[in-house]
Structure 1
Amino acid sequence: MLFRNAAFQKRRHLKMNRIRLHLKFDPSVIMYLVIVDKLLSKNAELLKVEPSEKFFSFVREMVISHVADGKEPPEQIAAPIMNIADDMMAGREVTMRAGDYIALMNYAKSKRKL
């Protein structure tokens, strides 16, 4: 069983509707390491990347199956999915590090989800 504590189990069921509503991802949740120098500061707009809706629906599907159904995510993307689920369950704003984003993109591309 994913949750052993009965009180937490009850709270989890109460929160599920709220969690499903908050699973709309915003491109601004992805944080990138940006090295700023004189050349890049002029071309900063070129560094902005917006993931596709397919990417967000893939991540949404994986997080819902982990949180709602208790399924373990694939090993290659377990850490990013669990980090997102942790943020959501704690009521924090979901943020994704560049390494997590890269791992999710590589996995999604390898499974032909994008």
Structure 2
Amino acid sequence: MEQIILIVHLLIALAIIALIMLQQGKGADAGASFGAGASQTVFGSAGSSNALTRATAWLVVLFFATSFGLALLATQKTQVVDDLDLFIPEAEEGVAPALDSDVPVVDNTSPSMEPTDNEVPEL
């Protein structure tokens, strides 16, 4: 079901792009008012603004509906983190965690900076 909605969503998006590219801008109306080829248009002298605008509006409504449907399907597929069967121990207050023997311990003492015979400080 999700794949079908996704394919329809993609086709509607491409159709919206095509219809928007076919529409004329507002500046084209000035040339059409003086008779610049208006009699040779496919949609007549009235222009194609009504048909293309209505088709674009309907495709936008369908695009919104498929977007909403895909969002609903996505939220139904999500799982709660508690359902992953992860064991998280509870921390006790005031008790320091025990150090493992594999973890190295950093020595807090600083190296002596007094020069020795070979001028290399000791660690």
Q: Same fold per TM (> 0.5)?
A: no
Q: Could you say which TM-score interval applies, normalised by the shorter chain?
A: under 0.3
Per the normalisation by structure 1, the TM-score is 0.26
Higher helix content, 1 or 2: 1
Structure of larger gyration radius: 2
